[in-house]
């Protein structure tokens, strides 16, 4: 398991969220928010994936995204979901973090045939490997290797390649 891969940008005198409009076009953020909000409540996977791709999220063939899943509205283009992956109900996937003195952004990659359980949160800069499973209500703050099972807050790899 590796550390999160994040790019860091210094903020000015105020907290980094105060400067969001200097780093992201407000019209683009509004568009992303509107599209992602509509997609949250769209039950048809094909239409949901079509909408999310409009924001720049890369979504593989046959990926299924559960109702109420929420994606980063500021940096959706930094999210990639592999073929046949499942994102559970009410999961949040972020590609940024606004801190007091800095903004951090990082790519999120969810591998082919991976599964992220309901009510989980995936933080910026992590990779969930091909065939990996993350249980419900987990906080994914570090990489989950391929074909592993992980759970918890913070996430811990419990099973590796079929071994306990």
**E-state strands within 56-119:** 58-59, 64-65, 70-71, 79-81, 86-87, 92-93, 96-98, 102-105, 108-110, 115-116
Name the pTM for this structure.
0.94
Q: 7-160 domain in CATH 2.160.10.10? A: yes
Q: What is residue 116's predicted lDDT score, i.e. its pLDDT?
A: 98
Domain ranges of the chain: 7-160
pLDDT of residue 1: 41
Quote the pLDDT of residue 161.
66
3-class secondary structure, 53:
helix
Residue corresponding to tokens 């109702």: 67
**How far is it, in rounded angstroms, from Cα 26 to Cα 35?**
14
Query: pLDDT digits over 95-141, tens only?
Result: 999 999 999 999 999 999 999 999 999 999 999 999 999 999 999 99
How many beta carbons lie within 10 A of that of residue 143, not counting itself?
22
Average pLDDT, the chain: 94
* Percentage, residues of the chain above pLDDT 70: 96
At a CB cut-off of 8 Å and minimum separation 6, what does 65 contact?
39, 45, 48, 49, 52, 59, 81, 86, 87
Spatial distance between the Cα atoms of 105 and 125, rounded to a whole number of angstroms: 7
Say whether pLDDT at 164 is over 60: no
| pLDDT-based confidence at residue 2 (cuts at 50, 70, 90) | low
Whole-number Å distance between alpha carbons of 88 and 80: 15
């Amino acid at each position: 398991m590796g550390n999160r891969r994040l790019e860091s940008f210094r903020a000015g005198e105020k907290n980094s969220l105060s400067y969001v409009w200097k780093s992201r076009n407000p019209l683009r953020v509004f568009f992303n928010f509107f599209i992602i909000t509509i997609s949250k409540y769209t039950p048809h996977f094909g239409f949901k994936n079509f909408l999310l791709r409009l924001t720049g999220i890369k979504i593989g063939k046959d990926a299924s995204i559960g109702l109420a899943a929420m994606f980063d509205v500021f940096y959706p283009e930094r999210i990639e979901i592999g073929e046949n992956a499942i994102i559970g109900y009410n999961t949040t996937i972020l590609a940024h973090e606004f801190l007091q003195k800095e903004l951090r952004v990082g790519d999120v990659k969810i591998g082919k045939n991976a599964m992220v359980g309901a009510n989980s949160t995936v933080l910026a800069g992590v990779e969930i490997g091909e065939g990996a499973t993350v249980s419900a209500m987990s906080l994914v703050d570090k990489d989950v290797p391929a074909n592993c099972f992980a759970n918890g807050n913070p996430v811990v790899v419990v099973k590796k390649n079929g071994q306990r």
